[in-house]
Chain A
Amino acid sequence: MRLGAAALVLTMAGAAHAGDPGPGREAELVRLVRQDCGSCHGMTLRGGLGPPLTPAALAERPDAMLAATIVHGRPGTAMPPWRPFLTEAEADWIVAQLKRGTLGDDATR
């Protein structure tokens, strides 16, 4: 978990900004969502072993529930907690981006 600790330090640095994560950190989060969330949800977020994360698929789900799922995972499923790698504010930002569809096909890698 040495790398996990390194990521945590990065996260704390990112958290110093209020509101939006800031351009550098946003790029990291976009990469995290597409590549690492993408391991299960698909790089284009259209689903894999995990369900799709497209705006249509998430439209009916409350933001707070989605953000909590990211941070804490869903026990009993394959969804792990991402708390070691991001803050709650960053999870909120990811949920907003997912609902707008800015992290899928059109986002830069």
Chain B
Amino acid sequence: MLALFAAGLLGCATTPGPVRGTGDLGVVIERATGSIQIVENTRRSSLARVAGLGDLSHAAAVYSRDERYAFVFGRDGGLTKVDLLEARVVARTVQGGNSIGGAISQDGRLVAVANYEPGGIKIFDAGTLALLSEVPSTPGPDGKGAKVVGIADAPGNRFVFSLFEAGEIWVVDASDPRSPKTTRFRDVGKQPYDGLITPDGRFYIAGLFGEDGLALVDLWDLGKGATRILDGYGRGAEKLPVYKMPHLRGWAMAGGYAFLPAIGRNEVLVVDARTWQRVGAIPVHGQPVFVMARPDGRQVWVNFAFPTNDTVQVIDVAALKLVESLKPGKAVLHMEFTARGDEIWISARDDDRLVVYDTASFQRRAELPAKAPSGIFFTWRAHRIGL
């Protein structure tokens, strides 16, 4: 078994390296081959490739609190626990038919997976990946359980997510993981397509595909219900066709503002993060997919949907305007900052490479080969609420 996994490694695979930490490590999803690369920031290098993770054409990862294990959520319902130090799969279960992502609980003991098919979430023991409980979603108009999107962890061992067809937000308290308690918010808006949680864990926000606006839940006061923010942000203007849904997980909060992708518009919305009122909109190169704040909040980086997905733009938060446009490669799918934001790693799927930029000078620092790379997830996520 060990030998089998070791055979999948790049480089010197058979001997574990010297004792090392994991704080500068991460994983890169190779979406077409069901493999991941384990990379490290300090020397901008790839340490290993781990294969056999199933269908990773859409995938996401969260980390154990010791930053040693990655939990990778695959499209085919696969949940795989990978040991970054030994570069091998330590546990794997195919728990659903079609999945979109997952989350790890505040105490690090639970991993929840969000499923399209069958609609709902499943909660697993983070140590063994044993199934502890299931929370099926309510049926949408087609009679099938609504697809779960935008799952995030919240303080109190809670998981928060949205139901696409049903237009609901659910808060699941998994303090007792074998009998979780669900609080439902109905009629939050049409077709919530993704969600995010503010870095302090207080507010959950769902983006709506079916209307101009977002739904907000104050997790400090569930009794207030879900409220609408940025209602009618497009002001009735015709939407552009949407060739890729934005992702809100990349969540940008900087300088007292929240920066959000406008759906069907070539704009980044700027919102006052205290009042949730619209401040303005910044015109950009295409329809934003990820809108991500550098950890210090001084810059916001944006990538775009097909057909403008060869470009990345940078917003200066102090000036609220674009300061840089970069062409990292064909089909830029994801970006990830290093823990303190000195560099950013960008995946260019159709060029089969990762590009690392210095975020101060915008100079290219490195390029690494990768097979159709998509998501990049560094271990600092282990200690961020909602990631």
Contacts and interface: CB of A to CB of B under 8 A. Distances in A.
B185 interface: no
B241 A36 contact: no
A94 to B, nearest CB: 15
Contacts of A4: 307-308
Contacts of B193: 49, 78
Interface stretch (A18-26, A38-46, A60-68, A95-103): A38-46
B244 A39 contact: yes
- Among A31, A46, A73, A84, max chain B CB count under 10 A is at A46
A40 B245 contact: yes
Interface residues of A, number: 24
A36 B149 CA distance: 20
B351 interface: no
* Size bracket, chain B contacts: 20 to 34
Contacts of B117: 47
Contacts of B116: 47-49
Interface string A79-90: 011001100000
Given A47-B98, A48-B116, A80-B243, A42 B75 contact: yes
A39 B244 CA distance: 6
Interface string B75-115: 10000000000000000000000101000000000000000
Contact of B191 (A3, A38, A39, A78): A78
- In the A-B complex, the 8 residue pairs with the closest CB atoms: A80-B241, A43-B57, A39-B244, A3-B307, A36-B306, A109-B32, A4-B307, A3-B308
8 contacts: A3-B308, A39-B305, A43-B55, A43-B58, A44-B57, A47-B98, A78-B242, A80-B243
